[in-house]
């Protein structure tokens, strides 16, 4: 049994509104659970607008990493490939066998609903009063939280867990993601 580098038992400081999962057959004969989208033409209200251009995603990671059990390392942001100009990402990679990766992406020109279209399972939550979606990844060890901070701007937090043997439970991975997202949003809202 592998040892996690980060304690994931703590839950995020957020409220959750779980959807009703729907089983979908996968291409390999397996069954995938999908939560129906609760997106309507009316976007959930956010308490204010936050312009992501004023934040360096690496500074967010550097400041919240210690409370997530990760080292505070100097990191450098880079353009986010496959996203609109102005989108930047930063990641603290710990995938040397055992551990967790923590990433922050500023997705410009894309709403959280647009970002979520490539994920089979999404669950709405609220972080610091902002509407967000938990998005289960496609590799069985990654999860994302997209936060609607402004029109066509989404703050995306990623969390990936690597075990010595096997894959982690998706609930554990998404618990880590929600904890990281809650810490990141607390920092962003306070700025």
CA angle, corner 157, sides to 172 and 34, nearest 5?
A: 55
Query: 3-state SS string over 54-81?
Result: HCCHHHHHHHHCHHHCCCCCCCCCEECC
pLDDT at residue 62 in the model: 92
Percent of the chain exceeding pLDDT 90 equals: 40
8-28 residue pLDDT tens: 222 233 333 344 443 434 434
Average of per-residue pLDDT values in the chain: 78
SS3 call for 189: helix
Residue 5: is its pLDDT beyond 80?
no
Give the β-pairing of 130-136 and 122-127: antiparallel
User: So where are the chain's domains?
Assistant: 47-190
Bigger pLDDT: 25 vs 140: 140
64-106 residue pLDDT tens: 999 888 887 888 899 998 888 889 999 987 655 567 888 888 8
Q: Which of 157, 123, 140 is nearest to 19 (CA)?
A: 123
Q: What is the DSSP letter of 114?
A: H
DSSP, residue by residue, 21-40: -EEEE-TTS-EEEEPPP---
pLDDT at residue 56 in the model: 92
8 A C-beta contact, residue 52 and residue 149: yes
d(CA 103, CA 139): 16
Half-sphere exposure of 101 (CA within 13 A, CB side): 15
pLDDT at residue 43 in the model: 64
Residue 134: is its pLDDT beyond 60?
yes
The pTM for the full model equals: 0.74
Residue 188: is its pLDDT beyond 70?
yes
Tokens of 118: 């490539």
d(CA 106, CA 51): 10
Listed in order, strand segments (DSSP E) in 85-180 are 88-92, 99-108, 122-127, 130-136, 142-150, 153-162
8 A C-beta contact, residue 122 and residue 35: yes
């Amino acid at each position: 049994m592998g040892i996690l580098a980060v304690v994931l038992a703590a839950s995020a400081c957020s409220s959750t509104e779980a959807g009703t999962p729907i089983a979908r057959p996968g291409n390999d004969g397996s069954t995938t659970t999908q939560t129906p989208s609760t997106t309507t033409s009316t976007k959930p209200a956010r308490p204010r607008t936050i312009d992501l251009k004023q934040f360096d995603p690496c500074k967010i990671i550097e400041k919240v990493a210690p409370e997530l059990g990760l080292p505070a390392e100097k990191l450098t942001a880079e353009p986010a490939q496959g996203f609109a100009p102005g989108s930047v990402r930063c990641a603290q990679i710990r995938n040397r066998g055992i551990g967790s990766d923590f990433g922050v992406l500023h997705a410009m020109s894309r709403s959280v609903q647009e970002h979520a279209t490539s994920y089979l399972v999404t669950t709405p939550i609220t972080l610091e009063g902002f509407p967000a979606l938990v998005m289960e990844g496609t590799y069985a060890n990654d999860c994302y939280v997209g936060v609607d901070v402004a029109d066509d701007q989404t703050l995306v937090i990623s969390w990936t867990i690597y075990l010595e043997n096997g894959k982690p439970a998706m609930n554990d991975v998404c618990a880590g993601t929600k904890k990281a997202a809650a810490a990141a949003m607390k920092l962003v809202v306070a700025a």
